[in-house]
Amino acid sequence: MKSTRNQSSASEFILLGLPIRPEEQGMYYALFLATYLTTVLGNLLIILLIRLDSHLHTPMYFFLSHLAFTDISFSSVTAPKMLMNMLIHSQSISYAGCISQVYFFLFFADLDSFLLTSMAYDRYVAICHPLHYTRIMSQSICILLVIASWFLSFAGALVHTVLLARLSFFRGNTLHHFFCDLSALIKLSSSDTSINELVILVVGSLVITVPFVCILVSYGRIGATILKTPSIKGICKALSTCGSHLSVVSLYYGAIIGLYFVPSSNDTNDKDVIVAVMYTMVTPMLNPFIYSLRNRDMKGALRNMLARATSSM
């Protein structure tokens, strides 16, 4: 194996993968394969239900369908390569494959953040300004919010990827991870990474911190509105419309905080890898269950689809 690529970077990287003993590889392979398939099929089911049921043709479910597609894509960036490496007992990934993985990982992670923010804004308008909901959350506004989310995610991921591609990797090519993580690659680089670190701080604030603050403000306003007219019926209605979204937000940002904001030493690579598994595989898998089990509309749409399928047999 060549150790350099054009005398500036490694021709490939070695992914040490998950901290799993060899005798447990088969069991974990089956577990992660089941998790990935559940993620894909569950989120595809959400998209299908929203497309087929006219009662779900509302702004909230419009955003949810895009979130489901994003979760499938996000999990697909890392899971297939990890499963393939476990199956053929390989640990390598090409330089181009690694850079591409970084780009799409960042792109779909950022898109998740923006879509969750759009959904929080939708819930805020629905509860705090119900009389103006149809005017504020018009079809054109919803489409504009999704387009803006895609554009900002594209731009943010592209900036990181272009800056990453200019780094050299003379010191080694081994990553203590199961995918090409941006922070792990920057630590591995032999180049000056001060610009990369500055951009991570600035862009990270824009695509993660600002949306998170917007979500907190939205739910703060929702809570204040509910407390102005306290009633069991009002609280139950708010929980039924916001509970699923709050659960997904908690999973998503909880994993990010655990992975990137909780200080860790150089000896805690295993912890980072385990949290990354939660972030990249478990959270996208749980989203369909959260929205189907906690959401009355989704359960109704699923029952209707099953009834139609049964009657047509």
User: Closest by alpha carbon to 128, among 247, 226, 241?
Assistant: 226
Task: Report yes or no: 207 and 152 within 8 Å, Cβ to Cβ.
Answer: yes
Q: Which pLDDT score, from 0 to 100, does residue 5 have?
A: 44
Whether 85 maps to a domain, the answer reads yes
Helix (H, G, I), strand (E, B) or coil at 14: strand
Whether 267 maps to a domain, the answer reads yes
What's the domain count of the chain? 1
Is the Cα torsion angle 111, 160, 186, 205 positive or negative in sign?
negative
User: Closest by alpha carbon to 104, among 168, 200, 36, 182?
Assistant: 182
For residue 302, what are its two tokens? Answer: 């699923």
In tens, the pLDDT along 226-237 reads 888 766 666 666
Residue with token string 């005398």:
7
Q: Which CATH number covers residue 252?
A: 1.20.1070.10
Task: Report yes or no: 108 and 152 within 8 Å, Cβ to Cβ.
Answer: no
User: Closest by alpha carbon to 74, among 278, 246, 295, 214?
Assistant: 278
The pTM of the full predicted model, rounded to 2 decimals, is 0.88
Whether 118 maps to a domain, the answer reads yes
User: Closest by alpha carbon to 201, among 178, 182, 173?
Assistant: 182
Q: Name the residue range of residue 211's domain.
A: 12-297
Whether 157 maps to a domain, the answer reads yes
Q: Which pLDDT score, from 0 to 100, does residue 306 have?
A: 78
User: Closest by alpha carbon to 179, among 277, 96, 113, 264?
Assistant: 277
DSSP category for residue 258: I
Q: Which amino acid is at 82?
A: M
- Residues (pLDDT < 50) of the chain are 1-8, 267
Q: Which pLDDT score, from 0 to 100, does residue 276 have?
A: 85
User: Closest by alpha carbon to 123, among 240, 274, 290, 298?
Assistant: 240
Instruction: Round the CA-based radius of gyration of the chain to a whole number and report it.
Output: 21
In tens, the pLDDT along 265-298 reads 554 567 778 888 888 898 899 888 887 766 777 7
Q: Which pLDDT score, from 0 to 100, does residue 264 have?
A: 53
User: Closest by alpha carbon to 269, among 278, 279, 259?
Assistant: 259
Compute the distance between CA of residue 66 and CA of residue 204 in angstroms, rounded to an integer. 22
Q: Which pLDDT score, from 0 to 100, does residue 4 have?
A: 40
Whether 302 maps to a domain, the answer reads no
Compute the distance between CA of residue 148 and CA of residue 106 in angstroms, rounded to an integer. 16
Compute the distance between CA of residue 294 and CA of residue 69 in angstroms, rounded to an integer. 20
Whether 312 maps to a domain, the answer reads no
Q: At CA 251, angle to CA 38 and CA 232, rounded to 5?
A: 105
CB burial class (10 A; 0-12, 13-18, 19+) of residue 160?
A: buried
Whether 2 maps to a domain, the answer reads no
User: What are the φ and ψ backbone dihedral angles of 274, each rounded to 5 degrees?
Assistant: -65, -45
Q: At CA 215, angle to CA 209 and CA 218, rounded to 5?
A: 140
